[in-house]
Amino acid sequence: MRTVVGVMGGGVASETVVEAAFELGRLIAEAGWVLLNGGRDAGVMRASAAGAHAAGGLVVGVLPDDDTHRASPDIDIAIQTGMGDARNVINVLSSKVVCVLPGGAGTLSEVALALKSGRPVVTLGFPLGDAFAKYYASGRLVDATAPADAVAAVQRFLTEDRS
């Protein structure tokens, strides 16, 4: 079975974040992992899907809608939930590790859901501070400053999981 790595982040993103999301998506695909994200044609979702697609990777988009009208064109498998933001639970529980780039309340809900469900989280340019101190201390939450560092952290979590 292939490993699924979630990439979560804002639908509105700066150019710097978009570039990082694209590179992260590319590196995830090159590692042979499946990229899963929120599926929409916006921000981190669009950029990470485009990066993975450009590298020949498989991209799964878990859409908030019951149709694909807002889906990124780089999604290979669109899961139409009709659940709105409740689909965040599906995003994190379907991912072995969750990578998180800057975003808003929806992104923070995915972080919280992932950590409460025992999924490791790697932030990229999105340090979460004292509110998540317990998870930093446990080692299940780590910060990365570059896409390659984020992928190295994902690999460490996956290796630990097999031990």
For residue 67, the model assigns a pLDDT of 94
For residue 162, the model assigns a pLDDT of 72
For residue 161, the model assigns a pLDDT of 81
In whole angstroms, give the CA distance from residue 162 to residue 88: 26
For residue 36, the model assigns a pLDDT of 98
For residue 128, the model assigns a pLDDT of 96
Cα angle vertex 136, ends 90, 100, to 5°?
Answer: 40
The CATH code of the domain at 4-162 is: 3.40.50.450
In whole angstroms, give the CA distance from residue 115 to residue 109: 10
Pairing of strands 59-63, 97-100: unpaired
Q: Which residues of the chain have pLDDT under 70?
A: 163
* pLDDT tens readout for residues 132-163: 999 999 999 999 999 999 999 999 999 998 76
For residue 163, the model assigns a pLDDT of 60
